[in-house]
C-alpha cells in the first residue's frame, strides 16, 4: 500500500508522543509539517535554523528510530527550513533630525531621560536587577525555548534570527527575570554594548514629558544609540497611538542597524489589542516564545534554588507540599517561602507540614481537599490536556478512552465510591465498564513502563493533596 508523507509523519508522531512529555511535544513537534516522501527520505519543514539545531541536539535518536520504524533501515529524515516572507524593515527619520545614520550625531547633544538634566556625557545605566541571571532562572519544559533563545541572543545580540524576541506569559512566570537575565549576561560579557531595560510605564512617561517639552527628537535619538533595548509589558502600549508612533520610529532604526530588541507581554503579539498593525507585524519579525506554568518538578527545583539562596533547609515533603499547592505563580511561591521563613524565625517553630499549611492558607483558598471522582477527572484531564467533558462523554478516540479508563482506576483505588457511583460520574456507565477499565489499566501498567510511570505520578499528585489535619 502506498503511503504518503503525511501518513508516515503521523505514525512517527504517535511514537514520539509516547516518549516525550506533553509540553516538549507541543513546543518541538506540533509546529513541524511533513513536506514530501521520496526514495525512503521523509522531508519535514521546521520554522527556523534554531529549531532544526535543537531537534538535532536533543531528539535526533528519537527521530531516527521513529523514521526507521516506519520506513525501514534505509529510511532517513531531511529538513526544510521555512524561509520567512516578512516585509523588510523601512528606516524612518526621527523628528527634525533628518535621515538617521549610526554615529552621524554628537552624543553630547542628546538628552538622557535617565539622568539629571545638565549632565552632558551619556553613561547609560542598564536599569537591570543583578539578581536576575540565567543561573537563577531554572530551566524546564515550560520555558526551554525562551531560555535557549535568550542565551543565543546574549552570546550574539542583534546577530541571531531572534530579533525582536517577544517573551509572553501570565503574571509571575519569569518574563522580566528572563529579559533582564539576557541583559545582565550581555553586560557581563561585553564592555562596548549599551543595554537598557525600561518598563512600558516609564517609557510612556518619558514620551509624555518629551511631548510636553517639545523634545521628542531627543528621546528618539537617545534610544537609537542603545545596542540592546528591553521593553517590559508592551501590552500597556494599547491605545496610546502617539507613543506607538514614536516607538515605531525607534524600533525601525534599531532593527535596521542590527541592534537587539527584547520585549515582554502577557499575551502573544497576534492577540494584542489597541496596537497598530504595523507594530504587530514588526513584533512578529523575530521569535515569539511563551512561558508556561511550570510542572511540579520544575516548581520544586525553583523553590530549592530560592531556599539555597536564602540559606534555608526544609524537609522534602514540605517543599513538595508547597509546590503542589502553589501552582500558577512563581511570585507566590517566593512569597510562601519568605512568609515561612518569617513565621519560623519569629515564632521559633520548625518548618514542617503544619507550619506550611498555616502559611499557604493566606495564598490559596483550600489545601485540605476531599478526594472526589470529580477531582480525579480534573487532574487526569489536565495531565492528558483534554476537556473533562470528554471523559464523561461517548468519544472513542484512543487517547480519550485511556484517560477515561485511568480516571476510573484511580477513582476505584483512591475514593470510597462504589463501582456504580463511579460509573455514574462517567456519563452513566455501569459497574461492569468500571471493572473492565480497571483491568485494562492494570494490564497496561504491566506491559508499558511509560504508562506505569504516568499512573504513579498521578497517584503521587493525588496523595499530595490528601493533607489531613495532623
- Sign of the torsion angle spanned by Cα atoms 226, 227, 233, 236: positive
360 within 8 A of 325, measured Cβ to Cβ: yes
CATH of the domain at 67: 3.30.300.180
Residues 144 and 242 in one domain: yes
Structural domain of 206: 107-290
Residues 163 and 280 in one domain: yes
Whether residue 367 is contained in a domain is answered as no
Residues 268 and 152 in one domain: yes
CATH of the domain at 331: 1.10.8.60
Task: Order across the sheet with 33-38: list the strands.
Answer: 33-38, 41-46, 76-81
Indicate the helix (H) or strand (E) that contains 336: helix 330-346
What pLDDT shows up at residue 293? 84
Residues 270 and 302 in one domain: no
Q: What is the DSSP string of 123-153?
A: -------TT--STTS---TTTHHHHHHHHHH
What pLDDT shows up at residue 83? 54
Residues 416 and 318 in one domain: no
Residue 176 CA to its chain's centroid (Å): 12
What pLDDT shows up at residue 71? 87
Residues 129 and 150 in one domain: yes
β-bridge partners, 197 = 230
Out of 360, 382, 401, pick the residue that ends a domain.
360
β-bridge partners, 36 = 43
Q: Is 428 left (phi over 0), alpha (psi -120 to 50) or beta?
A: left
Out of 256, 290, 324, pick the residue that ends a domain.
290
Residues 6+ apart with CB under 8 A from 293: 142, 170, 173, 327, 328
Out of 316, 338, 360, pick the residue that ends a domain.
360
Residues 260 and 157 in one domain: yes
Give burial (CB, 10 Å; 0-12/13-18/19+) of 251.
Answer: buried
Helix (H, G, I), strand (E, B) or coil at 197: strand
Number of compact structural domains in the chain: 4
Whether residue 95 is contained in a domain is answered as no
Residues 307 and 278 in one domain: no
Residues 112 and 19 in one domain: no
Task: For residue 36, give the C-alpha cell.
Answer: 514530501
Whether residue 97 is contained in a domain is answered as no
364 within 8 A of 329, measured Cβ to Cβ: no
Whether residue 249 is contained in a domain is answered as yes
Nearest to 441 by CA among 418, 396, 407: 407
Residue 175 CA to its chain's centroid (Å): 9
Residues 190 and 204 in one domain: yes
What pLDDT shows up at residue 20? 82
Whether residue 366 is contained in a domain is answered as no
Residues 119 and 166 in one domain: yes
Residues 325 and 285 in one domain: no
Task: For residue 390, give the C-alpha cell.
Answer: 470528554
What are the pLDDT tens digits along the chain (470 aa)?
Answer: 567 889 999 999 988 988 887 777 877 888 899 999 988 889 998 877 767 777 877 788 888 888 888 888 888 888 887 654 443 332 333 333 333 333 323 333 334 454 434 434 356 788 899 889 998 888 888 888 999 999 999 999 988 889 999 999 988 888 999 999 999 999 988 667 889 999 999 899 888 888 888 888 888 888 888 999 999 999 999 998 888 989 998 998 899 888 999 999 999 999 999 999 999 999 998 899 999 888 888 888 888 888 888 788 888 888 888 888 787 778 888 888 888 888 888 888 888 888 888 888 767 654 445 678 888 888 888 888 888 888 888 888 888 999 999 999 998 888 878 888 899 989 889 888 989 999 999 888 888 888 888 888 888 777 666 444 33
Whether residue 243 is contained in a domain is answered as yes
What pLDDT shows up at residue 469? 38
Whether residue 57 is contained in a domain is answered as yes
Whether residue 365 is contained in a domain is answered as no
Amino acid at each position: 500500500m502506498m503511503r504518503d508523507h503525511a501518513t508516515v509523519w503521523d505514525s512517527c508522531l504517535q511514537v514520539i508522543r509516547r516518549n516525550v512529555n506533553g509540553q516538549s511535544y507541543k513546543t518541538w513537534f506540533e509546529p513541524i509539517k511533513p513536506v514530501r516522501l521520496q526514495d525512503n527520505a521523509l522531508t519535514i519543514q521546521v520554522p527556523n535554523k534554531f529549531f532544526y539545531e535543537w531537534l538535532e541536539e536533543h531528539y535526533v535518536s528519537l527521530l531516527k528510530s521513529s523514521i526507521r520504524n516506519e520506513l525501514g533501515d534505509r529510511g532517513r529524515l531531511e529538513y526544510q527550513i521555512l524561509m520567512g516572507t516578512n516585509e523588510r524593515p523601512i528606516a524612518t527619520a526621527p523628528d527634525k533630525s533628518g535621515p538617521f545614520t549610526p554615529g552621524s550625531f554628537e552624543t553630547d547633544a542628546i538628552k538622557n531621560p535617565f539622568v539629571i538634566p545638565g549632565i552632558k556625557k551619556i553613561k547609560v545605566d542598564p536599569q537591570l536587577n543583578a539578581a536576575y541571571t540565567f543561573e537563577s532562572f531554572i530551566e524546564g519544559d515550560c520555558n526551554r525555548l525562551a531560555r535557549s533563545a535568550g542565551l543565543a541572543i546574549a552570546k550574539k545580540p542583534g546577530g541571531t534570527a531572534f530579533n525582536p524576541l517577544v517573551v509572553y506569559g501570565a503574571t509571575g512566570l519569569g518574563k522580566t527575570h528572563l529579559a533582564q537575565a539576557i541583559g545582565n549576561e550581555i553586560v557581563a560579557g561585553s564592555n562596548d554594548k549599551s543595554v537598557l531595560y525600561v518598563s512600558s510605564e516609564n517609557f510612556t512617561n518619558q514620551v509624555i514629558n518629551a511631548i510636553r517639552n517639545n523634545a521628542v527628537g531627543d528621546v528618539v535619538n537617545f534610544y537609537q544609540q542603545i545596542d540592546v533595548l528591553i521593553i517590559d509589558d508592551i501590552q500597556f502600549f494599547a491605545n496610546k497611538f502617539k507613543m506607538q508612533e514614536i516607538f515605531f520610529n525607534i524600533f525601525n532604526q534599531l532593527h535596521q542597524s542590527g541592534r537587539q530588541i527584547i520585549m515582554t507581554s502577557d499575551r502573544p503579539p497576534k492577540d494584542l489589542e489597541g496596537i497598530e498593525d504595523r507594530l504587530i507585524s514588526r513584533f512578529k519579525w523575530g521569535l515569539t516564545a511563551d512561558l508556561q506554568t511550570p510542572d511540579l518538578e520544575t516548581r520544586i527545583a525553583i523553590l530549592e534554588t530560592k531556599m539555597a539562596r536564602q540559606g534555608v533547609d526544609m524537609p522534602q515533603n514540605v517543599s513538595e507540599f508547597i509546590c503542589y499547592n502553589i501552582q500558577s505563580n512563581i511570585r507566590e511561591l517566593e512569597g510562601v517561602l519568605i512568609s515561612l521563613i518569617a513565621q519560623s524565625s519569629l515564632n521559633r517553630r520548625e518548618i514542617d507540614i503544619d507550619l506550611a499549611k498555616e502559611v499557604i492558607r493566606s495564598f490559596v483558598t483550600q489545601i485540605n481537599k476531599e478526594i472526589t471522582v470529580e477531582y480525579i477527572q480534573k487532574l487526569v484531564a489536565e495531565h492528558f490536556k483534554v476537556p473533562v467533558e470528554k471523559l464523561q462523554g461517548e468519544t472513542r478516540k484512543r487517547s480519550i478512552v485511556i484517560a477515561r479508563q485511568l480516571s476510573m482506576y484511580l477513582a476505584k483505588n483512591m475514593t470510597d465510591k462504589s463501582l456504580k457511583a463511579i460509573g455514574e460520574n462517567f456519563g452513566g456507565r455501569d459497574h461492569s465498564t468500571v471493572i473492565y477499565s480497571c483491568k485494562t489499566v492494570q494490564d497496561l501498567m504491566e506491559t508499558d513502563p511509560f504508562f506505569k510511570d504516568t499512573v504513579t505520578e498521578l497517584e503521587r499528585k493525588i496523595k499530595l493533596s490528601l493533607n489531613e489535619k495532623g
